[in-house]
Amino acid sequence: MQDDIIDKVVNKINESKNITVFTGAGISTNCGIPDFRSENGLYNMVKKKYDLPYPEAIFDINYFLKDPKPFFDLSKGLFGNNIEPSISHKFIAWLESINKISLVMTQNIDMLHSKAGNKKVIECHGTYKSAHCIRCDKIYELQDIENDLKNGNVPECSCGSIIKPDIVFFGEQLPKEFYKVYESPPATDLLLVMGTSLMVQPAAGFALKLSQSFPSILVNLEPTYYDDSFTYVINEDLDKFSKQVWNKLEELSINK
Ligand code: CNA
């Protein structure tokens, strides 16, 4: 790994008290959940598997209203109690446990930051935790539709319409709490961006806006179009990065 940059990044994290973290699908690929745009990602997979007009249609609200089956078939693999947080999720949870985290803004819908123990999380693209009927708006909990999700079935409301998990599709508004922190970001002295191509707006705009005002670290396997916006860029597997940085931070705290 780029050792000189790693040491600078370790020092930066060590001296920071208010780290704002922004994560994407790349933090969960080592948990067995594919991301969108990598070679083995969901977009290439859905292109082959389903008869869609374009791959993004699987997460497009207008397409979902016409045909929800591909989305629910895909959800089988995205959703499961046996999926465990990665080292990187645990690293961020550890940073929160030692009071270094201001906020974790995640684009992910897999709930793995909460499962790892983070409390200060905004899931800006929603999650499967709750759902609602697209016709009568009846609210459902995950457990009400869990069996359907695990089996790839389309869950049906008592009114006969479709129950849609509360994840944000293309064409839908992000939750109010996203716009609130977009306008008034939390106290931040360091921005840490992990595992995202920064291609999905407006979510990516949150990280890009903060990167203009604060020192920033981007860790992503591949270069992004926005690498120039960050103070430090590390093109590396996230778990490898997190493990190395976590070890070095623990060494620093022991030697204090
Ligand atoms: P993306 O556009 O697929 O980008 C992911 C990035 O992560 C890529 O640039 C990869 O190079 C990088 N990456 C993949 N694996 C690793 C790794 N092990 N270490 C370091 N980097 C890695 O996905 P984004 O998150 O940028 O796009 C936002 C979408 C993805 C949001 O709407 C999510 O809801 C959606 N999504 C979420 C999940 C999930 O919840 N786990 C899975 C797939 C897609």
Confidence at 47, pLDDT banded by 50, 70, 90: confident
48 pLDDT higher than 90: no
pLDDT for the residue 1: 63
Q: How far is CA 254 from the centre of its chain?
A: 32
132 part of the active site? no
Ligand 1 cavity residues, CB under 6 Å: 24-26, 28-30, 33, 35-38, 41-42, 107-110, 125, 195-197, 199-200, 220-222, 237-238
DSSP code for 170: B
The residues near 1 (Cβ < 8 Å, ≥ 6 apart) are: 234, 236, 240, 241, 244
Q: Which residue of the set 89, 113, 125, 132 is catalytic?
A: 125
Terminal-residue alpha carbon distance, the chain: 25
Rounded Cα distance, 131 and 143, in Å? 10
pLDDT in tens, 154-181: 999 999 999 999 999 999 999 999 999 9
pLDDT for the residue 193: 98
Task: Report yes or no: 256 and 98 within 8 Å, Cβ to Cβ.
Answer: no
**What distance in angstroms lies between residue 136's CA and the mean position of ligand 1's atoms?**
33
> Does the predicted TM-score (pTM) go above 0.85?
yes
Per-residue tokens: 96: 């929160």
DSSP H helical ranges for the chain? 3-15, 42-49, 61-66, 69-78, 87-97, 112-116, 142-151, 176-183, 203-211, 238-254
250 pLDDT higher than 90: yes
Neighbours of 103 (CB within 10 A): 21
Give me the residues paired with residue 121 across strands: 104
SS3 of residue 49 by DSSP: helix
Rounded Cα distance, 149 and 161, in Å? 16
**What distance in angstroms lies between residue 197's CA and the mean position of ligand 1's atoms?**
7
Rounded Cα distance, 77 and 34, in Å? 9
pLDDT for the residue 79: 65
For the segment 74-83, the average pLDDT, to the nearest whole number, is 75
**What distance in angstroms lies between residue 196's CA and the mean position of ligand 1's atoms?**
5
Q: Which of 53-57, 122-126, 222-226 shows the lowest mean pLDDT across its residues?
A: 53-57
Place of tokens 């293309």: 170
pLDDT for the residue 39: 87
Concatenating the DSSP letter of every residue in 228-254 gives: GGSSEEE-S-HHHHHHHHHHHHHHHHH
For the segment 176-205, the average pLDDT, to the nearest whole number, is 97
Concatenating the DSSP letter of every residue in 55-72 gives: GGGGGBHHHHHH--HHHH
Rounded Cα distance, 27 and 254, in Å? 28
Confidence at 80, pLDDT banded by 50, 70, 90: low
